[in-house]
Amino acid sequence: MYSAEENYLATILVEGEIVTEAQVEDAKGQRKGTESLAETLIRTGQAKEVDIARCCAVTYGMDFVELTHVTPAKEIVDMVKLEDARRYGMVPIGFDQNRLEIAIGDPFDTDTIDSLNHVLGYDVNASISSPEQINDAIGRWYDEAIGGADADTDLVVLSESSGGDSGGGDAGAAANDAPVIKLVGQILKESFNAGASDIHIEPLEKSVRVRYRIDGVLHEVANHPRNLLSSIIARIKIMTGAMSIAEKRLPQDARIQLRLGDKDLDLRVSTIPTNHGESVVMRVLDKTALNLGLVQLGFLSDDQATFEQLITLPDGILLVTGPTGSGKTTTLYACLNYINKPDRKIITVEDPVEYQMSGINQVMVKEDVGMTFAAALRSILRQAPNIIMIGEIRDLETASIAINASLTGHLVFSTLHTNDAPSAVARMADIGVKRFLIASAVRAIIAQRLIRKLCPECKTPGELNEREIKALGLDAAQMNDSTIMTPDGCVKCRATGYKGRAGIFEIFQIDDEVRHMVNENLSTPQLRRQAREIGMRTLREDGIRKVLNGMTSASEIIHVTMSDAS
């Protein structure tokens, strides 16, 4: 069933002689999923988008603007942010006597039109144009803001297929149209310029939402017309060179390899069917992480010295723990980069191999052909490595091989999903590893989280309020000689006050007393107390040090370490 608005649109189009009643009824029968009436009419070729927009303009007593014939001055374009233009599906076209003239694609969205006065800070006079022309105008007028989207030569897709998947139908053909190629290129370029870690393209009931995750926080940057969804998804699939355009019922995973100017970029692409169509997430694999030093990870000098000592041990297991997205893999790669020398053979087992590192043998898990973590580990031990990195310890077999390797003269790095460092002992025991083996093999456990760093361009000196002092458990002595900074917001940080991320850490070193406690099956709280006694700082305590030296804000540490309040 169509909504009252769409039934009204049908009446308008019939009275305007754009379509006949028979064509409206035919469109209702050909509707796909949550497709709107206008989208069905356009897809089936019974009406053109521009004719629908013209008819709506006449009915609403609004002007229709042919945007292909309009080129507003740059200062007028600059009056509306790119993200607002995309979010509301509108563009500025003129300015007169404190009234901003805009063109909008959805005349039914009266709430948006009414709210634009407040959003844009001007009295707004709206005209109508077609969503396609508005999208094209955004691409043309905001090219400079996104790094020259017309200069397609600076974005080269290295993994792209020909797009000749015969099952793709209309979507496959549309994916190769210049406007769609340009739109997807704009999304990618803008995300890279913004420093996004992943890109989300999500189908909603009446639009396609684009969001970027920047410094761990999702930001909505655009809403595109719903009828562009299949073309955008098909274009992304073609760029992978491995996904099927025709397959829309099952999840798919692949990669896109790009070259933007002189930078090589890698995206991990995942699609999944939802109730409104296929949703895509593209994770940006930042190869600069390969060259990170321990300082860039966020270690302060004393923790850095401890960590350097641990990762150069001749044998044993070093575990990095934390939830998904806490930067564990980046830390492991930084470790390998630090110790990667010609006299050491390093082999990794990963699922998947995210970054290719020079001088390191990397093995990718392929469970469908029997190459599991355990199978790979059994084989690589015969390759006589000095150092082994296991992407994640997931089961007893993998854990047992890792422990045996560490007890026979290998240094093993791996990750676990636990909330803090001492909990890793209980997690290993839950997997089925005998406690005396844990005590013998594990040298240290590092728990970590990622925090947002204050933007260096706009952070300002400040003071902690009473609530923050109480929440962090600070006293006057701790605040002596501190450098408290607070977020402000500028163009460089997208007005958030934060730019970039770093880690906070707790380093739990396993000494003889801890080994005895592990053998005696003592509880996690008891292990945690002992860890504190021998010098382990908690995540929150490490975060407090980074508040006091001006790296981040108190509110960020309170939020990230909420479970570590003790």
Express each pLDDT in 188-238 by its tens digit: 988 888 889 999 999 998 889 999 999 989 988 888 888 889 899 999 999
- The whole-number average pLDDT for the span 390-399 is 91
pLDDT at 63 > cutoff 90? no
Q: Give 385-427 as a DSSP string.
A: -SEEEES---SHHHHHHHHHHHHTT-EEEEEE--SSSTHHHHH
CA distances 560 to 96, 108, 206, Å, are 48, 42, 35
pLDDT at 273 > cutoff 90? yes
- Between 95-99, 265-269, 304-308, 562-566, the lowest mean confidence (pLDDT) is in 562-566
Neighbours of 475 (CB within 10 A): 8
Check residue 151 and give its pLDDT.
41
196 sits in which H/E element: strand 196-203
pLDDT at 386 > cutoff 90? yes
Confidence grade of residue 453 (pLDDT, cut at 50, 70, 90): very high
- Between 35-39, 265-269, 387-391, the lowest mean confidence (pLDDT) is in 35-39
Residue 427: Cβ-neighbour burial (10 angstroms; 0-12, 13-18, 19+): buried
User: Could you tell me which of 266, 196, 202 has the C-alpha nearest to residue 233?
Assistant: 202
Mapped onto helix, strand or coil, the DSSP state of residue 537 is coil
Please answer whether residues 416 and 328 qualify as being in contact, where contact means their C-beta atoms are separated by less than 8 angstroms. Answer: no
Quick: pLDDT tens for 131-153: 888 888 887 787 544 443 334 44
pLDDT at 181 > cutoff 70? yes
Q: What are phi and psi of 40, to 5 degrees?
A: -65, -45
Longest pairwise C-alpha distance within the chain: 87
Q: How far apart, in whole angstroms, are the C-alpha atoms of residue 389 and residue 399? A: 12
Query: Helices 524-533 and 423-431 sit at what angle, rounded to 10 degrees?
Result: 140
**Residue 280 β-bridge partners:** 201, 271
Q: Give 220-277 as a DSSP string.
A: EEEEEEGGGHHHHHHHHHHHHTSS-SS--SS-EEEEEEEEETTEEEEEEEEEEEETTE
Percentage, residues of the chain above pLDDT 90:
39
Quick: pLDDT tens for 156-170: 887 776 544 445 556
Neighbours of 284 (CB within 10 A): 20
User: Could you tell me which of 541, 539, 545 has the C-alpha nearest to residue 423?
Assistant: 539
Mapped onto helix, strand or coil, the DSSP state of residue 556 is helix
Higher pLDDT, 384 or 292: 384
Q: How far apart, in whole angstroms, are the C-alpha atoms of residue 42 and residue 24? A: 12
Percentage, residues of the chain above pLDDT 70:
91
Q: How far apart, in whole angstroms, are the C-alpha atoms of residue 440 and residue 348? A: 23
Using the structure block, give the residue that is written with the tokens 């939020």: 559
Higher pLDDT, 28 or 378: 378
